[in-house]
Structure 1
Amino acid sequence: MKAVRFYGKEDVRVEDVAAPSALGDSQVLVKPLTCGICGTDLHEFAGGPIVTPRVPHKFTGAVLPQILGHEFSAEVIEAGKSVTRVRKGDRVSIQPLVMPLDDYYSRRGLNHLSPSMGCIGLSWAWGGMSELAVINDYNANVLPENVTDEQGAMVEPTAVALYGVDRAKVTGGSTVLITGAGPIGALVVLICSAFGASKIFVSEPNANRRKHIEDMGVATAILDPKAVNVVDYIRENTEEGVGVDSAIECSGFEAALNTCVEAVRNHGTVVQTGLHVKKALVDPALWALKDITIEATWCYEVTMWPRVMRMVSSGKLPVEKIITGRIEPEAIVEQGFRSLLNPSGKEMKVMVNMT
């Protein structure tokens, strides 16, 4: 069968691999329908292996080359004899994290923090960029009838964004700053709007991404931090000049994190969602002076899938608005990875059609 496999830095190949030959009692055989290219995939392509395993993964046993794809929807082809939650023909959205279900963190509902955690499409034998894949029963979430295949594939990155918004304590009437308007930042904007935030400020240096956020029509102001003093602007446009209630950092850059700290009001909340690739110089004395809460997030709670799907199904969360490209697997390097990594490129989210 055809699969997209990652071998190493800038080495991704579309090739024939053996189809799954064995299915565990609690496993499900699925046919991927559509799969998003994630920022993690881009990091792997540009500088990996990073999280893809050079040696067998300690829990899953997976090792390079890795079939990519962890943001995907699929059709159930076969279910193991102990599986009761899904059946043949169901359309499902994949929650891709795999881990022991009985370790310290999983017993406390913190499955995503298990030190043994692996991920379908990154450290598991199978991934969403293939004709078939094997998953565990707990990875499959049946999609509502009115949620499309593409929306189903978008549940995974939306869960990342929703986790950040939850941790930022955003609610009806909140004022929010979002730094970084890549796919996660754009989804954070949509979620804050769905939650009823009264003012949504976005800071993003890339003109194409600013235009995309503008086209979504829900942000109060979209600022270029190279041309505008973001902190001054926010103080001028919030009640009594105090700043925003919450700031969600989605770029992974030191300057953006410090902007969030300066822009948030006293006793506000700053959430770090973007992944930093190096250490950042910060000012904890200012954190203390402002009595703010600093939160950091990793992945999402694995129980978030039904909630995200309900929000999408209701029409209140149009996650498809961030999709800008649709390609076939054979085009993944040039029209997928290289296009998304191009600083002047116009793509926000590229989906790979697997049907």
Structure 2
Amino acid sequence: MKAVRYYSKRDIRVEDVPAPSGPLAEDQVLIEPIVCGICGTDLHEYIAGPIVTPAIAHVYSGAQLPQILGHEFSARVKQVGSGITHVKVGDRVSIQPLISPRDDYYGRRGLFHLSEKMACVGLSWDWGGVGELAVVNGYNVFPVPDSVSDIQAAMIEPAAVALYAVDRGGVGSGSTVLVSGVGPIGALVLLAVKAAGASTIFVSEPNTNRRNLAQKLVPEAIVFDPREADPAKLFREHTEEGVGLDVALECVGAEASLSLCAKAVRRQGKVVQVGLHVKPAAIDAMLWALKDITVEATWCYPVTIWPRIAAMIGAGIFPVEKIVTATIAPDDVVEKGFEALLDPSGTQMKILVDMRDVK
């Protein structure tokens, strides 16, 4: 079968590999990926890896480079193990890619995303979404209704990151919110805060193309370039008594963005760290103390969130497909996928690989 495999920094190959063979374990499912997103994690591996892809056998999954990529994807069920009852052959599914022990400290508490042994389909598992076939565990497979398209089903995974952050911020009806950074996750956070009922939404983004996209996603949002606007003035003018915002979500992973979020919130407001920082960030701890703020850091998502997101998408209140800017063939994954997303002058936001377009 054909698969997109990651070997090392800037070394991704589209090649023929052995298909899954032999009988399935009773708790496993054989799937046929349909469409799969290229994630920021994949981009980090491409430009600076290996980082989370295992150069030596993974402690839990045993996977090792080269790695079939892809952890944001929809699929169709081809075969099920004898113990699988929640899906059947032919079902369309969305893949929850996290794989971890059910019986360690975190697993016993249902916090599967926090296990120190956690693996991930498409990053540290033998199979991934940018292959013609894959084997996953039963708990990785969630059926989706007809109201959710293949593209929307592939977008549930990054949407889970966004919605979890919005939940942690306590965003609700009438909230005043800042979304700092409109990459793919920031754009989904923007849609999620709108779905949660935020009444006043600010968006900070230096990139013109991304500011334009943010304005299209939520026309009533107050979108600004932090290098040119006076954010403090904006926040004073658009909040009650000028006190600042209820919640600020940092979606960049940059020190300046985190600082802006801390300045934006009112006293006893919340800052949610969504973007991943690749180096330590200096903070103004005295400001945090004087404002009595809460800082919430997030990692992945609770794995039970899939049906909720599918329901939101089906109801039309979480239009995750709106951030998809291109769909490409597997053979074009490097040039039209990874390199296009890394182009600072490019217009791409979210690119999906269509596994039905295998040549």
TM-score bracket for this pair, using the shorter chain length: over 0.9
Residue 318 of structure 1 is matched in structure 2 by 319
- RMSD over equivalenced CA pairs, Å: 0.8
Residue 147 of structure 1 is matched in structure 2 by 148
Residue 204 of structure 1 is matched in structure 2 by 205
Structure 2: state its 5+ residue gaps: none
1:8 matched to 2:18? The reply is no
For 1:155 and 1:335, locate their aligned partners in 2 and report how far apart those are by CA, in whole Å: 23
Shift of 1:194: 1.0
1:91 matched to 2:92? The reply is yes
Aligned with 1:138: secondary structure?
A: helix
For 1:336 and 1:133, locate their aligned partners in 2 and report how far apart those are by CA, in whole Å: 21
Q: Confirm or deny: 8 A CA contact 1:201 1:219 kept in the other structure.
A: no
Shift of 1:216: 1.5
* Deviation digits for residues 252-301 of structure 1 (CA, Å, limit 9, x no counterpart): 00000010000000001000000000000001121111011000000000
Aligned with 2:50: secondary structure?
A: coil
The two structures have a TM-score, normalised by structure 1, of: 0.99
Residue 65 of structure 1 is matched in structure 2 by 66
Shift of 1:232: 2.6
Shift of 1:229: 2.2
For 2:336 and 2:243, locate their aligned partners in 1 and report how far apart those are by CA, in whole Å: 44
Q: Confirm or deny: 8 A CA contact 1:190 1:218 kept in the other structure.
A: no
The two structures have a TM-score, normalised by structure 2, of: 0.98
For 2:6 and 2:185, locate their aligned partners in 1 and report how far apart those are by CA, in whole Å: 23
Aligned residues: 355
Shift of 1:230: 1.8
> Which aligned segments of 4 or more residues in structure 1 are displaced greater than 3 angstroms?
none
Aligned with 1:324: secondary structure?
A: strand
Residue 222 of structure 1 is matched in structure 2 by 223
Residue 113 of structure 2 is matched in structure 1 by 112
Shift of 1:29: 0.1
Q: Confirm or deny: 8 A CA contact 1:193 1:218 kept in the other structure.
A: no
* Deviation digits for residues 236-256 of structure 1 (CA, Å, limit 9, x no counterpart): 221111111000000000000
For 1:64 and 1:97, locate their aligned partners in 2 and report how far apart those are by CA, in whole Å: 18
Shift of 1:201: 0.4
> Among the aligned pairs, what percent are the same residue?
60
* Deviation digits for residues 92-133 of structure 1 (CA, Å, limit 9, x no counterpart): 000000000111001111110000000000000000000000
Shift of 1:196: 1.2
For 2:155 and 2:42, locate their aligned partners in 1 and report how far apart those are by CA, in whole Å: 15
For 1:158 and 1:218, locate their aligned partners in 2 and report how far apart those are by CA, in whole Å: 20
Q: Confirm or deny: 8 A CA contact 2:194 2:218 kept in the other structure.
A: no
Shift of 1:219: 4.4
Residue 266 of structure 2 is matched in structure 1 by 265
For 1:344 and 1:233, locate their aligned partners in 2 and report how far apart those are by CA, in whole Å: 28
Letter aligned with residue 121 of structure 1: G
Q: Confirm or deny: 8 A CA contact 1:32 1:130 kept in the other structure.
A: yes
Q: Confirm or deny: 8 A CA contact 2:215 2:221 kept in the other structure.
A: no
Letter aligned with residue 15 of structure 2: E
For 2:56 and 2:230, locate their aligned partners in 1 and report how far apart those are by CA, in whole Å: 47
1:233 matched to 2:229? The reply is no
Letter aligned with residue 101 of structure 1: R
